[in-house]
Amino acid sequence: MPALPAPQQNHLLAALSVEAQNRLFPHLELVSLPLGKVLYESGDSLRHVYFPTNAIVSLLYVMESGASAEISVVGNDGLIGIALFMGGESTPSRGVVQSAGYAYRLLGQRLKDEFNRHGELLQLMLRYTQALITQMAQTAVCNRHHSIDQQLCRWLLLSIDRLPDNQLTMTQELIANMLGVRREGVTEAAGKLQKLGVIEYNRGHITVLDRPRLEQLSCECYAVVKKETDRLLPYVFPRLNH
């Protein structure tokens, strides 16, 4: 039986000092995040924040028609629920698990108490929020100006950056919902990547085989997000700074 993930598998939690960890870790609750689980709906008042360890959560904007598009992805690089410490308490987006795994849940008030100490957590959360805003802005630009092929490459890179390995479980229908495009377009784009030997796709299981080639095929949007994240949070992405 595989070992359960430790809190330090989330890079934000790992970046905290021992003193801050000692204050927060006793209050963390390990929760399972199955594929498709909705952590919150648009307009919900948030009570908890989630620190993913080996899961990915998509933040989606859902239209009145039911159509949706992803505005950002969060994995072991960050947390779900920035509205809690930014003061808004709710958000117009929906949080959905796009790759199953685990996360550590913390009562929002506990995070706010630590945030209001005006110490390292405050700096860390503000820097993370700036990185997340960059990802959201670049996603909007990418969806408007780049092909489905390029969008899929960007999305795959952002996803595996936020997982402990190069594999994720995700159906083409879910990917289409994330990107806000037709499923047929995703099927065609994924087929091209598979023929090139960049990915292996089998029954909803995607393995990235050639990351350098995937980066070449992606638009500049991925590099912009990664560069800004590395600049803001160099101690949060140790695995990626190579």
Question: Out of 2.60.120.10, 3.40.920.10, 3.40.190.10, 3.20.20.70, which CATH number does the structure's domain 7-142 have?
Answer: 2.60.120.10
Considering 27-36, 37-46, 53-62, the range whose residues carry the highest mean pLDDT is: 27-36
* Chain region(s) in the chain for CATH 1.10.10.10: 145-226
Q: How would you write the chain as a 3-class SS string?
A: CCCCCCHHHCHHHHHCCHHHHHHHHHHCEEEEECCCCEEECCCCCCCEEEEECCCEEEEEEECCCCCEEEEEEECCCCCECHHHHHCCCCCCCEEEEEECEEEEEEEHHHHHHHHCCCCHHHHHHHHHHHHHHHHHHHHHHHHHHCCHHHHHHHHHHHHHHCCCCCEEECCHHHHHHHHCCCHHHHHHHHHHHHHCCCEEEECCEEEECCHHHHHHHCCHHHHHHHHHHHHHCCCCCCCCCC
In the block, which residue shows the tokens 């023929």? 195
Architecture of domain 145-226: Orthogonal Bundle (1.10)
* Chain region(s) in the chain for CATH 2.60.120.10: 7-142
What average pLDDT does range 121-133 have in this prediction? 89
C-alpha triplet 233, 61, 192: angle, nearest 5°: 75
What pLDDT is attached to residue 180?
62
Give the tokens for residue 176. Answer: 């289409």
What average pLDDT does range 75-97 have in this prediction? 83
Considering 83-87, 115-119, 207-211, the range whose residues carry the highest mean pLDDT is: 207-211
How many alpha carbons fall within 13 Å on the CB side of residue 53?
Answer: 20
How many alpha carbons fall within 13 Å on the CB side of residue 130?
Answer: 12
- pLDDT-derived band at 9, boundaries 50, 70, 90: very high
pTM over 0.95: no
- Residue 237 DSSP SS3: coil
The DSSP call for residue 103 is E
237 vs 76, which has greater pLDDT? 76
What pLDDT is attached to residue 28?
96
What pLDDT is attached to residue 242?
36
